[in-house]
Homo-oligomer: A and B are copies of this chain.
Amino acid sequence: MNESYKIHLSEKEMPDAWYNILPELPTPLAPPLHPATGKPVTPDDLKPIFPDALIAQEMSSETWIEIPSEVKEIYKLWRPSPLHRARNLEKALGTPARIYYKNESVSPPGSHKPNTAVAQAYYNKKAGVKRLATETGAGQWGSALSFACKLFGIQCTVYMVKVSYYQKPYRRILMHVWDGEVYPSPTDRTNTGRAALAKNPDAKGSLGMAISEAVEDAATHEDTNYALGSVLNHVLLHQTVIGLEAQKQLALAEDKADIVLGCVGGGSNFGGIALPFARDKIKGKSNVELIGIEPASCPTLTKGQYRYDYGDTAGMTPLMLMHTLGHSFEPPGIHAGGLRYHGDAPVLCNLVHSGLITARAYTQNPVFEAALLFARTEGIVPAPETSHVIKGAIDEALKCKETGEEKCILFCFSGHGHFDLAVYDDYLEGKLVDYEYPEEKIAEALRDLPKFPTGI
């Protein structure tokens, strides 16, 4: 057995291709529907905002899609990311389980987000696009895309939810350091923004509003495209580099995962680590348990309905078949900003629906108790989002302690908490509230949504 704390791959051992699960799903993925016609979206519908290469990936039937060498060169600034064996955490828990975490916090922006940001910037640059527009809530995605655009020499415009723009200045500064232009949304740069400001000059903004502004910016400027940091098939595709590396690293450690976990907001880090393992499961080669962890305040996979819904609050994006709390869902003020999406990646929802993936929800206080134990044993301070999966992994390890099972537990350490320390202060001072989103509100939010057959 390997005695190391960290398992490194050399840059040459980085995967040459991303894994595309679409052609191997046990149930085919239902297509996205056009919001105006209710008909399946065509590639042409997406051309105003995405380059052809990404549209092709979104619908590809190839199992493996080569990672371009230009993307790999940028990945090499921090990839392959290390796989850590959490020996100190195991000792503190007294568990016979082996706990591994794939450390995506080593990227310059501090999370897994640049895995897709770099790929998206590359394909847009190659298509002659001069500028990418996007939205950001807490700032993780906006900073990752600013970083990626700078490295490929294209411009990045970020619509940042106004309340976060002023409350989280560090993330905004980080985007400026990477030369991104950042505007507090709603802005006067778009029709949507101007209409919102006319209605309420003090509007605090929302992720839905920022998405609408970014999409409008991209759709109305010839040289500008739009980029999304989660949910879509091509985003999860790019993130599979996480799971593919982890599989090689576990093999080097002469180990094999029994349980794989990730936190779930839109689903990109969990999809990234889990899909390559799901492949083995689909092919009957493994019995690995795949568990998505979400906040009880935004319990999409655990309490949401599986049906077609819009991707944004305003109902302007295509409808997707997914577990949803209703696109009018108003997230309560929890600290894990990256986990507040009303839906989830259709690919993940498909796998949950077919029973290949399970999900679990936690409230905030037990999550930060777990995060603190992690920081005090393994050292690294986890992001609030990442703290959710740590709680999940610890619970699995404690089950092993009870049963005596020596399971191998792997989770995705999606990001560090260096820009989120205020929440630790709140936790230590007992200020965090445990809140479970009420099921009645979900039913109510979905009451008026038109139903589409799931088998389109």
Contact = CB atoms under 8 A, between A and B. Distances in A.
Contact of A77 (B106, B376, B379): B379
Interface string A293-333: 00000000000000000000000000000000000000000
Contacts of A425: 169, 173, 176
Contacts of A173: 421-422, 424-425, 428
Contacts of A178: 375-376
A4 interface: yes
A11 B8 CA distance: 10
Chain multiplicity (copies): 2
A56 interface: no
Given A77-B379, A379-B108, A176 B4 contact: no
A151 interface: yes
A428 to B, nearest CB: 6
Contacts of A8: 8, 10
Contacts of A376: 150-151, 177-179
A147 B379 contact: yes
A5 B4 CA distance: 23
Contacts of A378: 77, 108
A71 interface: no
A356 interface: no
Interface in A74-119: 76-78, 84, 88, 106-108, 110
Contact of A177 (B78, B108, B375): B375
B76 A5 contact: yes
Nearest to A418: B418
A170 interface: yes
Contacts of A424: 173, 176-177
B176 A5 contact: no
Contact of A4 (B76, B108, B375): B76
A129 interface: no
A259 to B, nearest CB: 23
A145 to B, nearest CB: 13
Interface of A: 3-6, 8, 10-11, 76-78, 84, 88, 106-108, 110, 147, 150-151, 169-170, 173-174, 176-179, 372, 375-381, 418-419, 421-422, 424-425, 428
Which 9 pairs, one residue from A and one from B, show the smallest C-beta to C-beta distance? Answer: A108-B379, A418-B418, A5-B76, A173-B421, A170-B421, A173-B425, A8-B8, A77-B379, A108-B380
Given A108-B378, A177-B376, 4 more contacts: A4-B10, A8-B8, A88-B151, A177-B372
26 contacts: A4-B10, A5-B11, A5-B77, A8-B8, A77-B88, A77-B379, A88-B151, A108-B381, A147-B379, A151-B376, A151-B377, A170-B418, A170-B421, A173-B422, A173-B424, A173-B425, A173-B428, A174-B421, A176-B424, A177-B372, A177-B375, A177-B376, A177-B381, A177-B421, A177-B428, A418-B418
